[in-house]
Amino acid sequence: MKINTIPPKRLAETITSAATTFQLNDILGFDGVALSAAIVGDVMYGSFQDTTGTVLELFKVDTTTIASASITMSKRGLQFNEDGTETEVAGNKRLWVKNQTIVNLGTDVPGLLARFVKDVDAQTIGGVKTFTSIPVLPASDPTTSNQATRKAYVDTFVPQTYLDTDGTLAANSDSRVATQKATKTYAVAKTGDTMTGALILNTSSPSTALQAASKGYVDGVAIAGSPDASTSTKGISKMSVSPASASNPISVGDNDPRVPTQSENDAMVGYGNTAVSGTNPFVLKDRVKFGGNGSDSALNISSGTTSYDLGGAAVFTKNFTSISITGTANVTFTNPNANGTIIIFKSQGNVTITSSAAAAIDTRGMGAAVGSAARSNIYITAGVGSGTTASTPATGLITRNTKQVILYCGGSSVAGTSGNGVSADGQGGAGGSNIENNGSNGAASSGNTPGTGTPGAAQRGAGALMIECGGAYSCSGTINAGGTAGGNASGTAAGGAGGSAGASLVIMYNVLTSDTGTYTVAGGSGGSKTGFSGLGGAGAAGVASVGFNTEFA
């Protein structure tokens, strides 16, 4: 704040009682220099006054805004008996008319005086005051703890003779202090001295960076005060087992070669819930949990046909989170393996099949191709829901071992033959076989109808189907893994083709809600003949097994 004498000004624009800025006719001082914050300082008061000198309003100026265009008032309508609080009084704020209002800057004498130190009365003074000379105090002694102390008081009550200077500790002779102070030779210099013995600190904890800390405080922060370790925070943790040496415990890092990787740990878990042993050393990489891993999301359809391209695979697996085939929806397949495709649907959750379609799931024609081995692909599961493709056996059945499910496709049928047109009619084709059953032979010619014809066409067998339901199973629809009827003959004399074989259909569930479904695995019927030719033989039936999962985890 600076003290300035400034010429009176006139208001250049009318202001209302709510205005916070005003404009002067000029902002020049008596020296002709424009006013600025550098000239008037950081605090300046002023007043608006009418030309008769009967109406007055006091205000405080924001000195950073002194300019010709506009000056900002940080406060206005100040009380006339200003006491330093700079209180605004609404009734003191008025409308002032341009050219008729005298503006005096630096004229709020009470406001200015409130910022100076008084020489009478009690007053609270803020800020740090620096004296260039030593203040002179009254000749009376202090009576309260925070009163200033004169030199004479100190000299009188703490005389030099109270302090020993001979390098020893004198007797207790100070009447005000129970134990006499140490002499200079016993004091520690601020720089250069060496202390012997422990320095005893108070029990308070330090609150600023450079304060001394006790051993107890450091121990408390290092142990009890540290956070517990977490996946994202380094901190204190407990040993999982007792260390070999309690005085020298060692933690093992996750990159220590003695610690198994996750893959190594998974490999040592064992088959299913069986512990690792000499005969069960690890789990094969293709073992998976019953119901699959859900990597193919949910199958949820209520209309139309959803078709899966088998890509010629011998085994085709889908890992669903759940299966819902409702409404009129159905699932079909294309592009099977030449020896047939084993189709496996795994569901982590519920399986609901209530579609009214003729076949909600249809694997017909996904078995062995015409002209391939009559008994098609088989699939043996081992462990938890997996396995290998075996070669096609020539004859016989495969024994079902514990925790194994045998899946097989249906074999293809044989086409009929045509009559020779002279002495014999055509032969019926044999039905397709599978590893469970043989198809029926086609019938021989029963007479001679001189002529020829087009024999019935052979058919592919059915693809095998297994459904793993990790949740609740509900079915009222139809699942067809049966054989296809042999082709019918045409013309004068030709035999019908055999029907292809049905496949295995296995459904396992953990919970049953309702099962009124239709499961078709019958072999296809033989094709019709013409003339005295033979009928086609029927295909072998597959096997359907639907029930609770009692084997797999």
Confidence of residue 214 (pLDDT cuts 50, 70, 90): confident
What average pLDDT does the structure give for the chain? 79
In-domain check, residue 66: yes
In-domain check, residue 328: yes
If one counts every other C-beta atom within 10 angstroms of the C-beta of residue 24, the result is 20
CA distances from 503 to 197, 306, 335, 377, 403 (A): 94, 21, 17, 10, 20
Euclidean distance between the first and the last CA atom of the chain, given in angstroms as a whole number: 87
In-domain check, residue 232: no
Torsion angles phi and psi, residue 92, rounded to 5: -85, -10
With contact defined as beta carbons under 8 Å apart, do 442 and 428 qualify? yes
In-domain check, residue 198: no
What is the per-residue pLDDT for 263? 67
In 3-state terms, what secondary structure has residue 92? helix
Query: 464-475 and 406-408 as β-strands: parallel, antiparallel, unpaired?
Result: unpaired
Q: What is the DSSP code string of 421-460?
A: SSS--PPPPPPP--SS-PPPPPPPP-S--S--EEPPPP--
With contact defined as beta carbons under 8 Å apart, do 50 and 101 qualify? yes
CA distances from 343 to 140, 182, 294, 546 (A): 110, 99, 16, 16
CA atoms within 13 A on the CB side of 535: 10
> CA 178, CA 103: separation in Å to the nearest integer?
69
**Computed over its alpha carbons, how large is the radius of gyration of the chain?**
53
Q: CA 241 from chain center: how many Å?
A: 32
Range of the domain at 78: 9-113
pLDDT in tens, 66-93: 877 789 999 999 988 767 788 899 999 9
**pLDDT above 70: percentage of residues in the chain:** 78
- Give 500 or 153, the one with higher predicted confidence: 500
pLDDT in tens, 108-135: 455 455 555 555 567 677 778 788 888 8
Identify which of 423, 418, 394, 389 has the alpha carbon closest to the alpha carbon of residue 406.
389
- Greatest distance between any 2 Cα atoms in the chain: 158
> CA 45, CA 43: separation in Å to the nearest integer?
7
Query: 44-50 and 56-61 as β-strands: parallel, antiparallel, unpaired?
Result: antiparallel
> CA 379, CA 467: separation in Å to the nearest integer?
14
Choosing from 45, 78, 113, the residue where a domain stops is 113
pLDDT in tens, 220-276: 776 665 677 777 777 777 777 888 887 788 777 777 777 777 766 765 654 444 455
Exposed/middle/buried for residue 174 (C-beta within 10 Å: 0-12, 13-18, 19+): middle
**pLDDT above 90: percentage of residues in the chain:** 36
> CA 97, CA 12: separation in Å to the nearest integer?
9
Identify which of 451, 464, 472 has the alpha carbon closest to the alpha carbon of residue 411.
464
pLDDT in tens, 478-504: 999 999 999 999 988 888 999 999 999
Q: What total number of domains does the chain contain?
A: 2
Choosing from 91, 113, 135, the residue where a domain stops is 113
- Give 42 or 236, the one with higher predicted confidence: 42
Exposed/middle/buried for residue 136 (C-beta within 10 Å: 0-12, 13-18, 19+): exposed
> CA 510, CA 403: separation in Å to the nearest integer?
15
In degrees, rounded to 5, the angle at the alpha carbon of residue 358 between the alpha carbons of residues 354 and 364 is 110
What is the per-residue pLDDT for 395? 27
If you average pLDDT over residues 22-36, what whole number do you get? 90
Provide the β-strand partners of residue 102.
Answer: 10, 49
If you average pLDDT over residues 148-153, what whole number do you get? 82
What is the per-residue pLDDT for 335? 96
What is the per-residue pLDDT for 531? 87
SS (H, E, C) 53-87: CCCEEEEEECHHHCCCCCEEEEEECECCCCCCCCC
pLDDT in tens, 375-419: 445 554 432 222 222 223 222 233 333 456 778 898 888 888 887
If you average pLDDT over residues 152-158, what whole number do you get? 75
In-domain check, residue 182: no
With contact defined as beta carbons under 8 Å apart, do 448 and 478 qualify? no
What is the per-residue pLDDT for 14? 94
> CA 73, CA 57: separation in Å to the nearest integer?
12
Say if residue 507's pLDDT is above 60: yes
Strand ranges for 270-428 from DSSP E: 299-301, 305-309, 315-320, 323-325, 330-334, 342-347, 351-353, 361-362, 378-381, 387-390, 406-408
What is the per-residue pLDDT for 427? 86
In-domain check, residue 174: no
In-domain check, residue 473: yes
Choosing from 63, 89, 113, the residue where a domain stops is 113
Global confidence as pTM: 0.48
CA distances from 355 to 331, 428, 478 (A): 10, 37, 8
Say if residue 354's pLDDT is above 50: yes
With contact defined as beta carbons under 8 Å apart, do 76 and 89 qualify? no
In-domain check, residue 38: yes
> CA 343, CA 333: separation in Å to the nearest integer?
9
Torsion angles phi and psi, residue 233, rounded to 5: -125, 130
pLDDT in tens, 188-206: 667 777 777 777 887 788 8
In 3-state terms, what secondary structure has residue 113? helix
CA distances from 513 to 149, 468, 473 (A): 96, 15, 6
> Which residues are CB-neighbours of 449 under 8 A, at least 6 positions away?
419, 425, 492, 493, 531, 532
- Give 305 or 184, the one with higher predicted confidence: 305
Residues 305-309: contacts with CB under 8 Å, at least 24 apart: 305/329, 305/330, 305/331, 305/332, 306/330, 306/331, 306/332, 307/331, 307/332, 307/333, 307/334, 308/332, 308/333, 308/334, 309/333, 309/334, 309/335
